[in-house]
Amino acid sequence: MLGQNRDVNIVVGVTGGIAAYKTVHLVRLLTKGGHDVTVVPTADALRFVGLPTWEAISRHPVTTSVHEDVARVRHVALGQAADLVIVAPATANSIAKITAGLADDLLGTTLLATEAPVLIAPAMHAEMWRNRATQANIATLRERGVHLVGPADGELAGGDSGPGRMSEPEEIFAAAQALLAPGDLAGVRVVVSAGGTREPIDPVRFLGNRSSGRQGAALAAEAAARGAEVTLVSANISGDVLADVRHPSIRVVGVGSAIQLAEVMKREAAESDVIVMAAAVADYRPVAVSERKLTKEGGGVPAIELIENEDVVAALASARRPGQLVVGFAAETPEDEAELLARARGKQQRKGVDLLVVNEVGWERGFESAENAVHILGPGGAVAATVSGSKRAVASAIWDAIGRER
């Protein structure tokens, strides 16, 4: 785990964004963990946080120049000696430079010279993050194996709001921890379902739900970061969510309806050690699907007869082999926490899952949100953990709970 190895060398690159002030706390977390941290700011970064601050917090001399400590070939040596390179904040400009392989300052040469994992924490205005050039650069970096944390969706400089806020230092620290620690899921085969199924009514309409798939995607990304071989069964997840799970160890299989999801999950479960059913599966589907769009011209309101879908997670739990672990999810709209837990315990018992993750949902919580708050029920319905925060942080807690049961 990060903090247990005092010989870890970490380079923290800081680029010219207002979020640089948050990186001071990140460096403090890393140094308090006992690590050798070298800060490499760009010239523009020093406009936001001065050189004396970086030197004081990292306990090392700090420079932006490739012309200092030439005898040690510092512009190459930093990258060669690094066990991890973090860039936080990573502005749109710095991401473009990293993608192009530019090396016009000490941070650029360090990134080119390193063979260590690279973790970047993007920070910029929402329009800049959504720009096609930035998204193309991000896609290229992911293909090269660069790791990303964030950006978060929230308040930005100048009062704007949207995607582009740099992740909090604790979340970046946790992502670094996952990269540096021995993978606790190394060699484990995992299948995660995510998103929401759609039950067709006609070629145009369907019965569905508001699940974005973000929590399931975060679970897949966290498992891969911990060393697992992951299959993500994606039920109608948007491209921007799937972009966050591009990883060499993640294979994505797309499905549409509950029947399709059940078929794929059963097939993938046969080869998996851990099954995580995070998808929101429709309870019912139309008995008959019209081959043509239903219209008002015929008069009257069409009656749609429904039939119950298979309980996929219960089927997976009943068919699990010895040593295989099944995790279910429940989204509830209770009157209070007591009802929430009572309903969750009832579902855990009926479905026969090893762990059950329950969260309260409503018009403005749970679905389509960057944050989540869950209870994780272990064997016998005992609350193994209660956690809230970003969906990646929640995913980390869920995998910690899974690890305790394996």
Pairing status of strand 206-207 against strand 199-200: antiparallel
- Asked if 196 contacts 280 with a C-beta cutoff of 8 angstroms, the reply is yes
**What is the distance between the alpha carbons of residues 233 and 277, in angstroms, rounded to a whole number?**
9
User: What is the dihedral sign for C-alpha 75, 79, 81, 85?
Assistant: positive
Task: Tell me what pLDDT residue 34 has.
Answer: 76
Quick check: is 9 catalytic? Answer: no
Q: Which amino acid is at 388?
A: S
With the CA atoms of 393, 395, 396 and 399 taken in that order, what torsion angle do they form, in degrees rounded to the nearest 10? 160
Task: Name the β-bridge partners of 372.
Answer: 389
- Asked if 319 contacts 269 with a C-beta cutoff of 8 angstroms, the reply is yes
- Look at residue 360 and give its three-state secondary structure: strand
Task: Tell me what pLDDT residue 243 has.
Answer: 77
Q: By mean pLDDT, which of 139-143, 318-322, 338-342 is the weakest?
A: 139-143
Task: Tell me what pLDDT residue 145 has.
Answer: 84
Burial class (CB in 10 A: 0-12, 13-18, 19+), 258: buried
- The most confident of the ranges 152-166, 293-307, 327-341 is 327-341
Residue 181 pLDDT > 80, yes or no?
A: no
Tell me: the pLDDT tens digits for 115-126? 888 999 999 988
3-state secondary structure labels for all residues of 5-58 = CCCCEEEEEECCCCCHHHHHHHHHHHHHCCCEEEEEECCCHHHCCCHHHHHHHH
**What is the distance between the alpha carbons of residues 120 and 128, in angstroms, rounded to a whole number?**
16
Task: Name the β-bridge partners of 286.
Answer: 306
- Asked if 86 contacts 25 with a C-beta cutoff of 8 angstroms, the reply is no
- Asked if 258 contacts 310 with a C-beta cutoff of 8 angstroms, the reply is yes
Residue 71 pLDDT > 60, yes or no?
A: no
Better-predicted residue by pLDDT, 193 or 370: 193
Catalytic residue among 131, 137, 209, 236: 209
pTM to 2 decimals?
A: 0.64
Task: Tell me what pLDDT residue 5 has.
Answer: 39
Classify 388 in phi/psi space as left (phi over 0), alpha (psi -120 to 50) or beta. beta
- Asked if 42 contacts 14 with a C-beta cutoff of 8 angstroms, the reply is yes
Q: By mean pLDDT, which of 112-116, 255-259, 265-269, 377-381 is the weakest?
A: 112-116
Tell me: the pLDDT tens digits for 324-362? 999 999 999 888 999 999 999 999 999 999 999 999 886
Pull the structure tokens for residue 371: 């944050």
**What is the distance between the alpha carbons of residues 186 and 228, in angstroms, rounded to a whole number?**
5
- Asked if 141 contacts 99 with a C-beta cutoff of 8 angstroms, the reply is yes
Pull the structure tokens for residue 178: 């996952």
**What is the distance between the alpha carbons of residues 313 and 262, in angstroms, rounded to a whole number?**
9
Backbone φ, ψ for residue 38 (5° rounding): -115, 125
- Look at residue 66 and give its three-state secondary structure: coil
Tell me: the pLDDT tens digits for 232-248? 999 999 988 887 777 76
Pull the structure tokens for residue 247: 């990883």
